[in-house]
Structure 1
């Protein structure tokens, strides 16, 4: 079997020679070109290239033209660009145009080798297709889901950063895992990080790691998320919750592909593909000054929007079957009674698929003999008037108390004849009651409850932990 062939396009003789020698030492066959005209002749000569590596600036044009031509031709050949140091904007433009990845000057050979290996894996043995709904983590046969899976299959071939948007519970992490599983990094680590759950004081240590003795309590050296995901994918979930100070450090790590542990004097290279996710509108966060514009452009190279469940209700049969199979475990399979699917279709599902899982899990706890009936769902606002009545009488579960509408302002204090003996405890009880009512009203969707109360998601999570409020 012949060695994979790589086309190197660069007008700098020294750099082109360095790239050729490096690739030859890797056991690859190399063709080279000093301009666009020669590169086009090589590509049109019938040779099958496993990778095209081109400089951005060439004597007769831009390497970006080559990127667009290869992308438009329908070839599966990955193309990577070499950009000048600090030219992050050029790299983003190239990735948007269809480039597989980029490497910055001066070229770091270890980074180059990793890029080449990742690109050649895409042209290796054809992986088992995961686009089919049966094998995909993203269940459903609706037009929206079929289009989503097709888009994921295309995105998996690139190393471009992806920003996944969608409402809470719509499956953003599942989509990120699917992108990782179908890409060339499938056998490497996938690290998912909830940016909103890390205390601000610990963020730098969690992301970049630290040396032994770097601070009080650092008894051993520890790797951060970037080192743990080296060679694989790092998912930044709820990235909009990152404080501005951390956004600056994250931007540098993404651009330079190097990180420095706390207490270290030297940076170390890291090779990770960044996938970010948020339910917030990042563009609006930029306008409000809560998110850096430069970081937004680095993360939002390609946007992947997930449809909410209410826009793909045709997928309910497939989703409920998969969820009930998981909930039933090794025991008898739970089933749906008459009218249950119609009742589910009449509900808006503000919490999306995650809420559907919670609804079915709660209903299964009340169901008799593993058969879920309409009244077991306890859906608020669903169209269940025409639901059939059970043939056999059963003991009905107590109805959930209806959540009272929250006041527009803080609730007035009661007319106390005796002042509370312990004011902090009294205020905690009042605060606990208000948070519990907000959670009940939103069916324990914490994001919506925080919006209802006019506080941030992080504040609500902190107060729930402080007051020991369990979901």
Structure 2
């Protein structure tokens, strides 16, 4: 029953609530917005309307006389896939919100609902694209035809049609920010700001003012009022990269901002309403951090409503030739030079390599190869790939200090891998961070 949700020139809204006065209030507001409205007081009546008519949006209460609003959400998710459904209820709780969003709800809001909130919700839902599909976002595109990438593309298309918080997992360099951008670009907030924040790059004493802003005179150097990340992303998407790096004190404040949809600037006495969609990412295991007491469980459940896992590049080896050609084309366009060719042997070497740094490492490898190659064809020796043994994780126990040479090699290997990770697998930058030359780094990687 995947029907056109705009069956006529007018948008038709289905309101489902067991309280007649609430239905009447919602219906009156929607009619004043120029919308056509159908009202239902029971689950059975709502299902009948859905089978007989096409709708652009469904607003439903969580509790109904003959069932749960979640049943309606699941029905719509299964049989009316292009129809956004928002849950509006007085029985607000984190558990209910997570359950509704996981079931496929577009959004979840608690009563009492202001007219401004209702209008914003309706406008956002009606601005969704007609069909769920993942398109390129301002030059950003998820390339690849392998099964894992096809699954990610399908998930992005689905997540774009929801306001649910998304938790993106995956190794460093696997494209987590790209996925977040595509979710934003293909959703109802695509014309609003996308604000990426690297949580690990903000000093702890500046976090509150950076996230929530500050008033003039709030502290030394605060010469003017300043908006934070939440205000900058208002109406759009706030992408929290490396969210595991947030200190516990900041996690409490972030949780309250997400739940209340209000923030208070440093030095202010009043709160400002904010409307942002939260997408977060980390290469760490948040569940294990929760068990270790390093990440708040309530914030974890609030962020991890829907998880999107980005596959590593070694899981998508068949995509490496396509990705390589796209990267080489981009490098040539930026430099204004002919596109360098990748020899068959070089392509095979790339496909066989494990890429611990994933796509980011592939980009750095090809960029360096283009810079150092003396011909118009890139050969295997131009790639300078790390030996396979070096890329593998050590299996020796971390406390084993003998044989001494094995222990020293392992410490050196771990230091180099950490430097590569911190510099996004830019080997020149990693060598500088380690305080050695590029040639010395190459020698050590080959030796280890």
TM-score (norm 2): 0.84
Give, in angstroms, the shift of residue 131 of structure 1. 5.1
Q: Is 1:3 the equivalent of 2:7?
A: no
Q: Is the Cα contact below 8 Å between 1:211 and 1:218 reproduced in 2?
A: yes
Please say if 1:446 is aligned against 2:422. yes
What is the aligned-residue RMSD (CA, Å)?
3.3
Partner of 1:249: 253
Partner of 2:29: helix, strand, or coil? helix
Q: Does 1:38 align with 2:39?
A: no
Hey, what's the Cα distance between the residues in 2 that align with 1:218 and 1:21?
Answer: 46
In structure 2, the partner of 1:396 is none
Residue 438 of structure 1: CA displacement? 5.2
- The residue that corresponds to 1:346 in the other structure is 352
Does residue 66 (structure 1) correspond to residue 42 (structure 2)? The answer is no
1:269-418 matched pairs, under 5 angstroms: 269-328=273-332, 329=334, 330-382=336-388
**Residues 52 and 235 (structure 1 numbering): CA distance in 2 closer, same or farther, change over 3 Å?**
same
CA distance 1:39–1:378, shift in 2 (3 Å): same
Alignment match, 2:127: 121
Note the 1:212-291 alignment, pairs <5 A: 212-291=216-295
Structure 2 Cα separation of the partners of residues 92 and 57 of structure 1:
15
Secondary structure of the 2:235 match is coil
Distance (whole Å) between structure 2 residues aligned to residue 198 and residue 6 of structure 1? 44
Distance 1:327 1:271 in 2: 38
Does the 8 Å contact 2:173/2:424 carry over to 1? no
* Structure 1 residues 241 and 177, CA gap change in structure 2 (3 angstroms): same
Q: Give the drift of 1:83.
A: 2.8
Written as runs of structure 1 = structure 2, the 5 A alignment for 1:27-106 is 27-44=34-51, 46-84=52-90, 86-106=92-112
Q: Which runs of 5+ in 2 are unaligned?
A: 1-7, 390-395, 402-409, 442-448
- The SS at the match of 2:214 is coil
Q: Quick check: which has more Rg, 1 or 2?
A: 1
1:380 Cα deviation from its structure 2 partner: 2.1
Residues 62, 91 of structure 2: 8 Å contact kept: no
* Paired residue secondary structure (1:11): coil
* Separation in structure 1 between the aligned mates of residue 104 and residue 284 of structure 2, nearest angstrom: 26
Deviation at 1:2, TM superposition (A): 3.0
Pairwise CA distance, 1:371: 2.3
CA contact 2:135–2:141 (8 Å) conserved in 1? no
From 22, 25, 39, give the equivalent of 1:18.
Answer: 25
Distance in 1 of aligned mates of 2:268 and 2:365: 49
Cα contact 1:70–1:77 (8 A) shared by 2: yes
- The superposition leaves residues 381-437 of structure 1 with CA deviations (integer Å, 9 ceiling, x where unpaired) of 259xxxxxxxxxxxxxxxxxxxxxx997899xxxxxxxxxxxxxxxxxxxxxx9997
- Pick which of 438-447 and 63-72 moved more: 438-447
**Aligned match of 1:140:** 144
* Counterpart contact for 2:14–2:40, Cα < 8 Å: yes
Query: How many angstroms does 1:156 deviate by?
Result: 0.9
The answer for the alignment partner of 2:3 in structure 1 is: none
| Aligned partners of 2:85 and 2:106 also within 8 Å | yes
Q: Please say which of residues 252-261 and 435-444 is displaced more in the overlay.
A: 435-444
Equivalenced residue count is 414
Mapped to 2, the partners of 1:468 and 1:380 lie a distance apart of: 17
For structure 1, the residue ranges without an aligned partner over 5 or more in a row are 384-405, 412-433, 450-460
From the superposition, tell whether residues 76 and 111 of structure 1 become closer, same or farther in structure 2 (CA, over 3 Å). same
By percentage of residues, which structure has more helix? 2
**Structure 2 CA distance for aligned equivalents of residues 209 and 306 of structure 1:** 32
1-structure distance, mates of 2:91, 2:222: 34
- Ranges of 4+ aligned residues in structure 1 off by more than 6 Å: 406-411, 434-437, 467-471
